[in-house]
Every structure is written in structure tokens, then in C-alpha cells.
Structure 1
Amino acid sequence: MNSMAANEALLLLTGSLCLHLLIVVIKILHKYWWTPLRIQHEMNLQGINGPPYKFIHGNTKEDMKMKQEALSKPMATLSHDILPRAQPQVQARLNLYGKNYLSWAGNGLVAAEGEKLAKQRKLANSAFHGESLKSMTWAMIASVEMMLERWKHFEGKEIEVFEEFKLLTSEVISRTAFGSSYLEGQKIFDMLTRLSVLTYRNQFNVKFPIISKFWKTAYSIEAGKLAKGIHNSVMEIVKKREEKVFSGEVNSFGTDFLGLLLSTFHDPDKKNRLPEQDLVDECKTFYFAGHETTNSALAWTVLLLAIHHEWQEKARKEVIEVFGNQNPHSQGIGRLN
């Protein structure tokens, strides 16, 4: 009897494991095979085509190969037409499929949608409308003055402007959006950069449902540590702002980006309240995305001005006509072409 009971228990356990494994396989196939193919079919019916979806990886391997090929060759000429070099996969697909096409990053596109997107746009619009931007001018000027003062020590020497603008944009974002200095945000910037590099190098790794919870790669462990470090560092800045309000030192969280996030974070209506993870994610996105795009745009603008002296002279003449020897101000900026 004991032997039969043991066999029945073993069969029951084996059956449960098989059923569990079958459910996991079905979930994986549904997420990484059925759903992308269904979306691709529906988009094709609407006349929107694109490269075929590849199981799990989408088009990322193909994208990476195109980027590596483009970056392996020097630019034939210095030109502001850099799409074939910076985003060769986009250029190739625009030529092949037209302006509207479907491509795949892994098993889909990462984006906010619905109510969350509406909340994000509302926060961004409130933080960066016209009047708010005017009040940020002084902070931008202070950061630029610090950079120019630092450049005096390099007189007669070459300056790596990309790295200099990296410091500048980091300082401006820290001052204007979070009311802190670059030194406070430096740790966050560094960890975000390391996490970005780590993610880029391991973009073909796929997390399978359930399995990934028990079996972690060296990449996922390191990425988890960085994510936790970023979370804690952001919350340190948040706590400092909260303490000023709770102690009565100031009467509001402020009108900058962090202040608006905190006002939503502490909204009396629980339905409208921003969860802590969303607050941290918003800060992470703004720190990194805003920094990278602005930094690259500034560096490329300086390169183009260096190549085209006539543009440089025209820009200098206009700035002097509007501002003379004064620092830039919001009224004058609106008059620039």
C-alpha cells in the first residue's frame, strides 16, 4: 500500500511538473511567436509592411549588423546628413517600405500608453511650458559660465567638446529639473550609463516567464544591482525635497519637474497618486534621455558651425545684434531665427 501511495504521489508530482512546463511553453510561444505574428498580419492588411519578425529577437540582430557595418567605415565627407550612418536600418527600411513601416525591437515596442501616457504628458507640459522655461534661463547661464571658465585653462589646446557638453547638460538637467547640482546627480548619471551599456551588450538575452525568476545570469544580477542603486539614489534626492516641505522650510514641493512629480506622488486622491516606481522611472528617463539627446545635438551643432564658417558668422552676428554684451534672456531668445 505504501509503495502504491508513493507511486501515485510521484505520478501526481510528475504530472503537475509537466502541466506547469506546458503552461510556460504556451506563454513563451504566445508572447514571442503568436502575438508578434498576429500584429504583423494585421498591419500588413492595412498596407503597413516591414522586415519579417524573427522569433524572440525581432529585427535586433539585423539592426545591429547594419549599425556595425556603417560604423566600421569612416564618413566619406563631413555632412549633417548622418541618418545612413547613425540609423542605417531606418534608412534602408525607408527606401524599401516607405515612411510608414513596422519593425521589431525584441518581441515588441517599448512605450507608455493610455492613462499612463496621458499622465506623463501632463507632467512634462506643466514642467516645461513657456513660463517655466523662462525661469530656468538663469540656471542654464550659470552652468554655461562654469563651463567657459573651465575652458580658460585649455587656451591653445584641444578640447573634447562632446565630453564638455556631457558635463554641461548633466549640470543643467540637475539644476533645472531636480533642483540639485551635477555632483548630486553624478552617481545616477554614471549608473544609468553603465546600465545602458550593459543592456546594449546583452540586448539579445531574453527573459523567459517563471524560469528567469529562479535562474539569473551574470548580466541580470549586475543589472539588478545597478537598478537598485539608481532607485536608492533617486529616492535620496526625493527625501531631501520632502524633508524641506515636511519640516516647514518651504511650503510646496516646487514647480520644477521633481516638484510636480512629488505633488502627484502625494496626491490626496489615491487614484491619481503616482506610484514610487513610476516616480523613479520618470526621473531615470528624464536624467538619461534628456541628457543624451541634448548633449549629442550640441556637439553636432558645434561641428557643423566649425565646418560652415558662414553659418558661424551669421549666428554670431545675430546673437550680438539681439543681446550685445549681455547674457541671453527669454525675451531675446524669442527673437532669434
Structure 2
Amino acid sequence: MKTSLYNIFSWIRFTFLFVAVLMIWALRTLNWIWMRPNRLEKCLRKQGLNGNSYRLTIGVTKESAMIIKEAASKPITFSHDISARVLPSVHNAIKRYGKNCFMWIGTAPRIHITDPTLAKDVFSKYDDFQKYYKTNNPLVKLFIGGVISYEGKKWAKHRSIMNPAFHLDRLKHMLPAFHSSCSDMIRKWEKMVPEMESFELDVWPQFEALTADVISRTAFGSSYGQGTNIFELLKEQSHLTLQAMDSAIYIPGSRFLPTKWNKRMKEIHEQVQASIRSMVNARVEEMMDGGETNEDLLGVLLRYNLKETQQNGVGMTVDDVIAESKLFYFAGQETTSGLLTWTMIVLSKHHEWQDRAREEIFQVFGDRKPDYEGLSRLKIVTMIINEVLRLYPPVVELTRIVREETKLGELTIPAGVSIMVPTILIHNDHEIWGEDACEFNPERFSEGVSKATKGQVTFFPFGWGPRICIAQNFALLEVKMALALILPRFCFDLSPSYAHAPYVVITLQPQFGAHLTIHKIKH
């Protein structure tokens, strides 16, 4: 009898606990997918923000993905007004709800900020508005790492260790590597065409190879041949990462499922890690044996990391150095190759500026080899590059997350809400840039960036504030060197086969390539 009663009470306790756990889970789920989103929407609307109404979890995100897919399904007529193609959901939302509005990403609202004053606050208060990646999938972190993904003290430490590698004085010493890589590419182009004839060339893969070669030489003291496999793997990983970031929802634990996607992401990560680790370990061993430190980016990083460790007891781990090296590879190639490609495309359409840039290069260098002082004096080339960056920024939007309730101007942003600053929409804003905002007009930068922006945060192709891209001067110097060598030797037009289709794969790229007709200039 006692045993029977004990069993009954045990069963009742178990049932009670099971029901309690089930109810807690149900309440949390209800709060996640319905109660909290509705509270957030009410809070935002009360403050005067407009946006689409919340619908149960993935519906709105799926709709947004369909809009993006539709926008990328075909090329557009050649125009510099590309925001509707590369950022269609945000473009549509702002057009419908106003410049400062919100839209739903799953169960969380995202506020779009186009006011330059508010954008400045977002970029300046980097502890309040932290980096945000639009997915909870841990596998994405295998690709997105290094200093751009860190916050707080870890970010500050890594940034201080890396800063010396990108000082202008050190970049000057990299010019011979820039020149060698560009000269190798030009020699290949010259072999493609007999004198006084033309040839068609997709310059996008050409510039990918060029910038990969440059980063291999300047970061690791190696050649593109040694880094080819790493670059190809990172390119594949960027496409896989974008797919994960576009996914409406991540199911916790799904990364452990033996799917083809999961396996490939892990394989790429392991292969890239092993390749870079071997280079890093070899350098560390050389340093420990008292050998001379190479003055490439990796060598400088290791030297200052050792100094930080000796002075403060803690520096970067080997895994940290590998993450930063991987970032060198990807960011150092993607940003610069894209900028070079869009500059060539734009100059193919605007021959008057192509001619002016070529004439300036002849005046500054003549037959001399381009040097740092001369590149710094290329005013027209700089104006052209800035205007290309305004119309075709490497990253078309910057998103931050609010971890705790935060003030932004007169707005109170609840915890968990993300903030997007749509770079390309601010760069194309007619109220800021005038009626010709979507036209190519480098003259607007004739007196410099500060004069063109009137001191406002309205031009930020590499970000802005303390977290501005650490390698922007590296990229700009490399692009100037490439143009200083290409323009005196070749003129170029858009090929009839060129299809204007800017699209985003982490950075802004030409979806169907950049087919140009190249003409050799006879001297």
C-alpha cells in the first residue's frame, strides 16, 4: 500500500514538474514570438516611428528575401542610382514609411537611420551601438572574425596592436609590392593584344587576382600562388555565409546536423585555419630563434603583439593572430578589388573624366615610376575615387545592435532592437547632395571631403568614428597605384556584353562581371 501511494505521489510530482516546465517554455515562446514584438512595436510607434506591422516570426523576413531575390534576378539599365537593386527592402521601406522608420527581421525590429546627426551618434557611441550580424548561426562566426567582430576591451586591445601595421609611414614601404603586382597584371594585358588593337576583358577577376597578390606580398611576404587556395576557399565561404545571414531563422543545434552546407563550412574553416596557422607558426618560431622580423603586415602584427605581451602580460593568442590574418586576406582583397572594378566601369562610361585622370597622371609622373609623393598629389584621381565610393560603397549598409535601453537623439531604443545606417541611401540623398545626387560628378569633391559633406556624417564608405576601417589608406593607395599604371597604357569602354548588375556578397560586386573593351595606347 505504501509503495503504491509512493508511486502515485512520484507520478503526480513528475506530472506537475513536466506541466510546469511545459508552461514556462510555452510562456517564453509566446513572449518571444508575440508579446515582446508587440510591446516593442508599440514603443516605437509611440515615439513617432512608422514601419510595417509585426507578423508571426519568419513571414516578414521571408518576404524580404523574396524582394531581394527578385531585385537580383535581372540587370538594370545603366544608372548610378542602384539602391533599389542592392538594398531593395530598405529602399521600399523608407520610400513608404519615411527616412527614419523600422521593419521586422524575424521577431526583432530594425530601425533605419538616415539622419546624419543620429548616424554620427551611432558610430561614435560604439559601446552602446555594437556590431551586429543578422544571424544567430554559430557557423557564420567561422567566417566573420577578427577585430571587426570584437567589442569592448578585446576590440580596443586588438585595434591598438594592429594600428602600427597601417601607419602611413609603413604603407609607403609597401608601394614596391603594389607596383610589382600591378606591373605583372599589365604585362599580361599587353600580351593579350597586338599594338593598336582592342580586346574584351572581364576586369573583375583580374582585379581579384591583383588584390589577392598584393595582400599576399604585403601581409605575408608570399606570392599569390601560395595564397590562391586560401582566397578561393574564402570566396566560397563568403557566399555560404551570405546564405546563412539571409536565412530567416536559425534552429539551435542545427549546426551539428550532417548537412552538406554544415560540412562544407567546417571543411573550409579547417583548411583555411591550417594554411594560415602554418605561416603564423613559422614566423613565431623565427622570432623566438632571434631571427629578423619581416616588415610585412604579419611581421609587424607579431612584433607589436610580443611587445604588448611583454609590457602588459596579455596579448593576442595564436588563434587571435590567425583570425586577424584571415581578415587581412578577405577584407584586404574584397574592398580594393571592388573599388577598382567600379572605378573602371564608371570611367568607361565617363570618358571626359577618364581623359582628365590620364592627363593628370602624365603631368605628375611622366615616364617616372609612381611614388608616394606623386600619388598624394593626384587631385583629380582622388576626386574620382571619392565619387565612386559615394555611388558604389564597398559595404552598402552598417548595422548595430542595442544590448541595453539606449538614447539616440530624442528616441529611446529598447534592448534587442537593431539600428541600420543605410550607407548607400545617405550617399544618394538628394536633400544632402543635391539634385545630381545619383549622377557621377567628382567636382563635388574638388575642395575635399569635409567641404563636400559640410562637416556632416554623410560620406562614410569605410565606416566612421573609432571603428572606421583600419585599412582604408592601404586600399586607397593600392587603387591609386593601379590607376597610375593602367591609365597611361590603356583606354577603355563598356563592352556590349556588359550587364549592369551591382549586388551584395558581403561587399558590393558586379553580379555578371565587368566586361570592358580595352584599347592599347600608342606612345
Shorter-chain TM range is 0.7 to 0.9
Q: Which residue of 2 aligns with 1:278?
A: 320
Other structure's SS at 1:248 match: coil
Partners of 2:300 and 2:291 in 1: how far apart? 15
Structure 2 residue aligned with 1:220, among 262, 283, 304? 262
Pairing of 1:181-220 with structure 2 (within 5 A): 181-202=223-244, 203-204=246-247, 206-209=249-252, 211-212=253-254, 215-220=257-262
Is this contact kept in 1: 2:255–2:262, CA < 8 A?
no
With 276-285 and 232-241 compared, the bigger mean Cα shift is at: 276-285
Taking structure 1 as reference, are residues 175 and 158 closer, same or farther at Cα in structure 2, changes over 3 Å only? same
Number of the residue aligned with 2:165: 127
Equivalent residues in 2 for 1:170-319 (5 A)? 170-202=212-244, 203-204=246-247, 206-209=249-252, 211-212=253-254, 215-250=257-292, 252=293, 254=295, 256=297, 259-260=300-301, 263-264=304-305, 267-268=309-310, 272-319=314-361
Q: What is the aligned partner in structure 2 of residue 91 from structure 1?
A: 91
5+ residue gaps, structure 1, are none
Q: Say if 2:203 and 2:341, in contact at 8 Å, map to a contact too.
A: yes
Decide whether the 8 Å contact of 2:106 with 2:248 is kept in 1.
no
* Bigger fraction of residues in strand: 2
CA contact (8 A) 1:162 1:295 kept: yes
CA displacement at 1:6 relative to structure 2? 10
Task: Determine if the alignment matches structure 1 residue 137 to structure 2 residue 137.
Answer: no
Shift in Å, 1:201: 3.6
Check 1:235–1:98 CA distance in 2 against 1; reply closer, same or farther (3 A cut). Answer: farther
What is the CA deviation profile of residues 28-51 of structure 1, one whole-angstrom value per residue up to 9, with x for unaligned ones? Answer: 777777777776666556555555
Aligned-partner Cα distance in 1 for 2:278–2:30: 41
Task: Tell whether the 8 Å contact from 1:253 to 1:260 is kept in structure 2 after alignment.
Answer: no
Answering whether residue 105 of structure 2 is matched by residue 64 of structure 1, we say: no
Residues 85-127 of structure 1: CA distance to partner in whole angstroms, max 9, x if unpaired?
2222332233234444455666773254322333344345332
Q: Deviations over 1:276-326 (max 9, x none)?
A: 443333333332233222212211110111111101100001111111112
CA distance in 1, matches of 2:345, 2:299: 33
Q: CA deviation at 1:163?
A: 0.7
Q: TM-score, normalised by structure 2?
A: 0.54
How many angstroms apart in 1 are the aligned matches of 2:18 and 2:331?
44
Please list the CA deviations of residues 148-184 of structure 1 after superposition, one character each: whole Å capped at 9, or x if unmatched. Answer: 0111221143221011001011111222233322222
The one-letter amino acid paired with 2:91 is Q
Distance 1:75 1:145, change over 3 A: same
Question: Mean Cα displacement is larger for which, 89-98 or 51-60?
Answer: 51-60
Amino acid at match of 1:241: R
Q: Which one of the candidate residues 200, 206, 216 is aligned to 1:164?
A: 206
Q: Identity of paired residues, percent?
A: 35
Change over 3 Å in CA distance of 1:74–1:215 after alignment to 2: closer
Q: Higher RCO, 1 or 2 (CA under 8 Å, sep at least 6)?
A: 2
- Give the structure-1-normalised TM-score: 0.80
Secondary structure of 1:268's aligned partner: helix
TM-aligned CA distance change 1:29 to 1:96, over 3 Å: same
What secondary structure does 1:158 align onto?
strand
SS in 2 for 1:221: helix
Please give the alpha-carbon distance, in whole angstroms, between the structure 2 residues aligned to 1:36 and 1:262: 49
Alignment equivalent of 1:114, drawn from 152, 173, 178? 152
One-letter amino acid of the structure 2 residue matched with residue 198 of structure 1: L
More helix by share: 1
Report 1:139-154 matches (<5 A). Answer: 139-154=177-192
Q: Deviations over 1:168-211 (max 9, x none)?
A: 111112222333222222222111122222233444274433x4
Return closer, same or farther for 1:201/1:325 CA change in 2, 3 Å cut-off. Answer: same
Determine the C-alpha separation between the residues in 2 that align with 1:271 and 1:26: 47
Contact between 1:242 and 1:253, CA under 8 Å: does it hold in 2? no
1:102 and 1:229 map into 2 onto residues whose CA distance is 40
- Cα displacement (A) at 1:66: 2.1
The SS at the match of 2:222 is: coil
Q: Which moved more, 1:141-150 or 1:121-130?
A: 121-130
Measure the CA separation in 2 of the matches of 1:282 and 1:54: 40
Partner amino acid for 2:353? W
> Cα 1:231–1:15, aligned 2, differ >3 Å: closer, same or farther?
farther
Between the two proteins, the alignment pairs up a number of residues equal to 334
CA gap of 1:16–1:190, structure 2 versus 1, over 3 A, is farther
CA RMSD of aligned residues (A): 3.8
